A and B are shown apart, each in its own frame.
Chain A
């Protein structure tokens, strides 16, 4: 059965909504961050599904690494996704 995201505790919560739904079922998801100038902070550039860090890095380099000076590849299941109540999909 489809799962509902967890409901906000109250409308006044600050970052009280946690998005717990998974983003992959064929492997592990890896969030990518890139910057194209050494003076810029890395910026989110999507994610790849890959079975290992090595494969994720390989995919990331091919997809988003062409013009990058910095590339971060982060396991998405280690990322906590918190939002304010009205940002969650079911509450917009």
Chain B
């Protein structure tokens, strides 16, 4: 997770603690923190959802799947996470609000010293539910919207989903909950990006997270809707330009990019061109501490059946199950070949990543996407959009991946 507003506009917002490094807890100056040592844990409470989104990484369904962790088991999991020192638990789904014990689990997490945050489609958040979530100790609600009304509703499989999500956002804001947008950028909705931000800024939102498509769950079925490298570069540049324009007129929105660490290299290049060498160096230092792609290290996932995954997008491979072993024992097991590869990947990356000047702030990006497209754990992330000149590549075997 890369804060564009922090790096380009020096906005040190409170955030949700989900930026995968302890720097988020620091005050200014920003380049002071140590690398985060324990993972943010995404817990998919349920597979059930009231919507059916085209790109859902969890392959959520309208029906409940068998084997969900019970309330009692969920509290035991939260004990495990607290004992292991996880800083944040992100309650996700499916749609977590379909579980009527959500507030009970959030309150339990807060009591155990975990920072509880929420990922939701927002459509089930009533005035009463928003107040209950706040009273339980929820620290942040990220509401997914993927385009202006018509496009969002088509993407989410339900007419009226956009309006219902906006009502949910309003209820959260009225209850005093820190609330933000989650927006997955694809070919279908890239054009709506600024329009959605303008519209939701008017509603009162001031935090916007833009996700790159990851190739998990139903996301693998819409690879043809993913952006080309050229389109991706343009979309990220527009996020940068939009953020600076808002700040220039005194509206301090917070913007973040999630899921593609080519963005780190791009931001350094962008800063060098628009803000000067000194600022570019400062941003590079911050991103180096941030540590690049967090899979298998600074982010972890537990699904609704208790399976532990290297990230929430990597649902078809499980490291183990919390019903068999405590989370901390599974996560600390460096003998696992996948964890070992993720944690010691730097010198094994191939192609344009091998000699990339931004390797330390990117770490090759998504290994899941590399596996999906190239069938190779250490191949370049197919979403990398940095040019040969930017990565400092030489020789005939490097270059942009096919669009």
Contact = CB atoms under 8 A, between A and B. Distances in A.
B337 A68 contact: yes
Interface string B351-378: 0000000000000000000010001010
B390 to A, nearest CB: 29
A1 B64 contact: yes
A19 B67 contact: no
Contact count band on A: 35 or more
A89 B319 CA distance: 16
Contacts of A66: 337, 341, 377
Contacts of A43: 335
Chain B CB within 10 A, most for which of A44, A46, A59: A46
A64 B310 CA distance: 13
Given A23-B321, A43-B335, A46-B318, A4 B307 contact: no
Nearest to A43: B335
Contacts of B47: 25
A73 interface: no
Nearest to A64: B337
A25 B66 contact: yes
Given A1-B64, A3-B67, A68-B337, A90 B76 contact: yes
Contacts of B324: 19, 81, 83, 87
Interface in B281-327: 305-307, 315-324, 326
A67 B337 contact: yes
Contacts of B322: 89
A90 B371 CA distance: 36
A38 interface: no
B323 A88 contact: yes
Contacts of A45: 336-338
A49 B319 CA distance: 12
B275 interface: no
Contacts, number: 106
A48 interface: yes
A46 B317 contact: yes
Given A2-B68, A47-B317, A90-B72, A25 B335 contact: no
A1 B69 CA distance: 9
A19 B323 contact: yes
Name the residue among A49, A62, A63 with the largest chain B CB count within 10 angstroms.
Answer: A63
A82 B375 CA distance: 36
Nearest to B217: A26
Interface string A11-30: 00000000101111111010
27 contacts: A1-B68, A3-B67, A3-B70, A4-B73, A22-B66, A22-B67, A22-B305, A23-B67, A23-B306, A25-B305, A26-B59, A44-B320, A46-B318, A47-B318, A49-B316, A49-B317, A63-B337, A64-B337, A66-B377, A67-B337, A68-B337, A83-B324, A89-B77, A90-B76, A92-B76, A92-B80, A92-B326
